[in-house]
């Protein structure tokens, strides 16, 4: 791993560093006080606060706070990052083309900017994970139900990335949320948000939502029934190792 960093740089020094490291395909982290403005299918705004911003060479953007594992703002791979200095202030704009979504970050202060080039060298072997579960379903969609056809993975909407999107035998949209263990109401609520956003975004009224997990708690079962969501018991194989993967090309467009 190669690491370079600047402490308390001026906005101009930070910009020069970021542009040079982006050109070298490095992963860049910026720590400082910033405001974050998102425009797209919805709008959101984060007032000034100290945050960690990660710019990955594949176009991924992550904005993290001190708490929790989930970023408060993000952009998926394929986005374009454009750093600049405007009126003496460092800014970063991350743009997604389709659908059009923009995250604008304005740094009031820059405490540290770092660049890392990781000698990864191989794909990560994941044992007994949600990815194993996804690959198991992609390889055999009948595990969901007969006639189920996967069409996309990590399908993104403003509620977050849905694990698997597809259609049932009748052509109805199906959103599948994968969990590797016994889950509670949070997972059901998450799936409900995906379904509701898909309905708003596409106009489809007959969208099905399915939780695939080892098991559901009683409260989760009650919530799923109340929201009209379905549950399929399935877990990743205990000895599974992600290596050979199925692709959506196997299922057609």
Angle in degrees, CA 245, 249, 253, rounded to 5: 145
Domains 2-117 and 130-251 agree in fold? no
Query: For 156-209, what is each residue's pLDDT tens digit?
Result: 666 677 889 999 999 999 999 998 888 888 889 989 998 998 888 888 888 999
Please tell me the pTM assigned to this model: 0.53
74-125 pLDDT tens trace? 998 889 999 999 999 999 999 998 889 999 999 999 999 999 988 765 444 4
Question: Percent of the chain scored above 70 by pLDDT?
Answer: 87
Which residue's structure tokens are 């190792």? 241
Split at pLDDT 50, 70, 90, the class of 243 is: very low
Q: 173-178 and 182-183 as β-strands: parallel, antiparallel, unpaired?
A: unpaired
**Alpha-carbon gap, residue 144 to 150, rounded angstroms:** 10
Q: Which of 9-13, 34-38, 81-85, 188-192 has the lowest mean pLDDT?
A: 188-192
Q: Domains of the chain: which residue ranges?
A: 2-117, 130-251
- Domain at 130-251: CATH code: 3.40.1350.10
Give the fold, CATH level 3, of 2-117: Protein Yojf; Chain: A; (2.70.180)
């Amino acid at each position: 791993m190669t690491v370079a960093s600047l402490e308390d740089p001026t906005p101009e020094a930070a910009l020069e560093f970021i542009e040079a490291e982006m050109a070298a395909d490095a992963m860049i982290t910026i720590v400082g006080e910033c405001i974050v403005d998102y425009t797209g299918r919805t709008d959101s705004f984060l007032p000034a606060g100290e945050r960690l911003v990660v710019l990955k060479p594949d176009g991924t953007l992550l904005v993290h706070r001190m708490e929790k594992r989930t970023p408060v703002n993000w952009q998926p791979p394929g986005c374009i990052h454009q750093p600049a200095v405007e009126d003496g202030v460092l800014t970063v704009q991350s743009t997604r083309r389709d659908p059009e979504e923009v995250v604008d970050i304005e740094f009031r202060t820059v405490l540290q900017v770092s660049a890392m080039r990781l000698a990864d060298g191989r794909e990560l072997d994941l044992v007994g994970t949600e990815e194993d579960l996804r690959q198991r379903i992609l390889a055999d969609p009948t595990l969901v139900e007969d006639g189920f056809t996967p069409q996309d993975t990590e399908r993104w909407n403003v509620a977050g990335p849905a694990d698997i999107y597809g259609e049932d035998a009748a052509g109805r949209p199906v959103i599948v949320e994968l969990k590797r263990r016994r889950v509670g109401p949070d997972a059901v609520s998450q799936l409900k948000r995906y379904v509701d956003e898909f309905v708003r975004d596409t106009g489809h009224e007959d969208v099905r939502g399915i939780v695939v997990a080892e098991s559901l708690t009683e409260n989760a079962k009650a919530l799923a029934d109340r929201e009209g969501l379905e549950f399929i018991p399935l877990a990743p194989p205990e000895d599974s190792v992600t290596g050979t993967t199925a692709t959506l090309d196997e299922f057609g467009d």
